[in-house]
């Protein structure tokens, strides 16, 4: 019998085990385009079914690219660069050439300077010792920047296959859907969702008679906040439109809570502005540092929410790190949540985040 693959997620179609990827009832196998039950439910009910594939299985699958030839398009999420840039990419894709693509630019404030941002991404790639041929900024949902990128892909691929690679949820499948939509008019061919781990196998979209563009499953980065929150809370912390910067003039010994998922204490320094870039739906709460512990203990889950009850079960305890920032506009990054930008004329802050989601500093993005 011919092997069939789900058009939405790339899983091998089977009719034996409902719990395993690719399950499709026998009655649906006669259709021209086969969609597995999980994709069907995701598309029509936005309901995700967990599958029995481990992070390691995904990594192994994608690492097959090492033994193939093609152009690698490494898609990252500009709202979560630290969480989505894969530093170990060469181990996964061998010495194939790489184009770096910052997706979801529509989430950044319109005032963001695109040229500067592109250079900034190039620096981040350099710092991570990733050699990239070119850098692009796009929005797959809005369609921004796609023409320049596709032209460059065509030029650099040298008649070979193109692999779309990245951490989960950066928008790889949405990007390909956009291209399919532009070329043949069909919409939402590949399954996409705001849950991590949507694509389960390689999905080949023909570019010509002999070569394809290949969607791949997302590489899982354990540091990502997404693994510690409920589906409900994931929706709240994931921005879905342009993020409005929220500025706070803080005196030392004041604290900001980001829901109850992270906390920033302004320990020492002159009064100054802290500009916060988080999903507009995530509430920020200001308080005095001396009252912060009590507030957290009493109001985690209500005033300070998310976490909801489900997230509370998953969420590791807070750990804290102290940072001293001098003389440079700096972002304090809470991976997968957002960041706080400070001018940093000698500022000491203490950042609290769930254990495993490590806070870091970077030169300001905006
Ligand atoms: N705001 C915004 N959201 C986007 C963009 N591209 C994708 N998304 C959203 O990001 C989420 C993940 O998109 P997918 O295309 O499923 O991501 P993926 O990289 O294929 O994810 P996996 O298959 O899990 O690895 C969805 O909710 C998309 O709507 C974009 O350009 N802007
Ligand atoms: Mg996908």
pLDDT in tens, 169-192: 999 999 999 999 998 899 999 999
Gyration radius from the chain CA atoms: 22
273/340 Cα distance (integer angstroms): 10
Confidence at 28, pLDDT banded by 50, 70, 90:
confident
pLDDT in tens, 258-293: 999 999 999 999 999 999 999 999 999 999 999 999
Q: In what order do the strands lie in the sheet with 360-363?
A: 246-250, 272-278, 338-342, 330-334, 360-363
- pTM summary value: 0.94
Token pair, residue 263, equals 């906390």
Name the residue at shortest CA distance from atom 16 of ligand 1: 192
Closest CA to 340 of 364, 357, 358: 364
**Is the per-residue pLDDT at 1 higher than 70?**
no
Q: How far is the centre of ligand 2, averaged over its atoms, from the C-alpha of 274 (Å)?
A: 35
Name the residue at shortest CA distance from atom 8 of ligand 1: 171
Cβ–ligand 1 contact at 106 (below 6 Å): yes
Q: Which of 108, 169, 172, 179 to mutate to test the pocket of ligand 1 (most atoms within 8 A of CB)?
A: 169
Cα dihedral value 356, 225, 73, 126, nearest 10: -50
Give residue 289's pLDDT: 98
Residue 216 and residue 61 in contact, taking contact as beta carbons nearer than 8 Å = yes
Confidence at 309, pLDDT banded by 50, 70, 90:
very high
Give residue 243's pLDDT: 96
């Amino acid at each position: 019998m011919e092997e069939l693959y789900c058009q939405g997620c790339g899983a091998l179609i089977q009719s034996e085990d409902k719990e395993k990827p690719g399950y499709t009832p026998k009655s649906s196998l006669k259709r021209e385009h086969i969609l597995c039950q999980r994709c069907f439910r995701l598309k029509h009910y936005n309901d995700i079914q967990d599958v029995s594939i481990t992070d390691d299985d995904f990594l192994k699958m994608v690492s097959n690219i090492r033994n193939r030839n093609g152009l690698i398009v490494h898609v990252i999420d500009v709202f979560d660069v630290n969480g989505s840039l894969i530093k170990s990419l060469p181990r996964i894709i061998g010495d194939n050439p790489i184009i770096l693509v910052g997706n979801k630019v529509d989430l950044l404030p319109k005032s963001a300077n695109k040229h500067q941002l592109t250079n900034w991404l190039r620096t981040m790639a350099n710092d991570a010792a990733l050699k990239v041929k070119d850098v692009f900024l796009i929005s797959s949902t809005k369609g921004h920047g796609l023409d320049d990128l596709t032209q460059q892909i065509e030029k650099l691929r040298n008649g070979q296959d193109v692999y779309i690679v990245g951490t989960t949820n950066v928008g790889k499948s949405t990007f390909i859907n956009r291209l399919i939509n532009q070329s043949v008019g069909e919409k939402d061919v590949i399954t996409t969702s705001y849950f991590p781990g949507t694509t389960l196998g390689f999905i080949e979209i023909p570019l010509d008679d002999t070569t394809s563009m290949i969607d791949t499953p997302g590489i899982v980065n354990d540091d990502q906040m997404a693994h510690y929150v409920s589906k409900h809370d994931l929706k709240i912390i994931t921005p879905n439109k342009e993020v409005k910067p929220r500025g706070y003039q803080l005196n030392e010994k004041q604290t900001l809570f980001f829901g109850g998922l992270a906390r920033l204490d302004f320990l020492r320094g002159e009064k100054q502005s802290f500009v916060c870039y988080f999903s507009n739906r995530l509430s920020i709460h200001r308080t005095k540092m001396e009252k912060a512990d009590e507030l957290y203990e009493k109001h985690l889950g209500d005033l300070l929410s998310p976490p909801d009850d489900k997230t509370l079960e998953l969420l590791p305890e807070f750990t804290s790190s102290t940072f001293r920032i001098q003389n440079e506009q700096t972002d304090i990054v809470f991976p997968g949540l957002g960041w706080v930008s400070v001018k940093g004329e000698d500022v000491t802050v203490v950042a609290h985040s769930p254990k495993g989601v490590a806070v870091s500093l970077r030169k300001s993005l905006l």
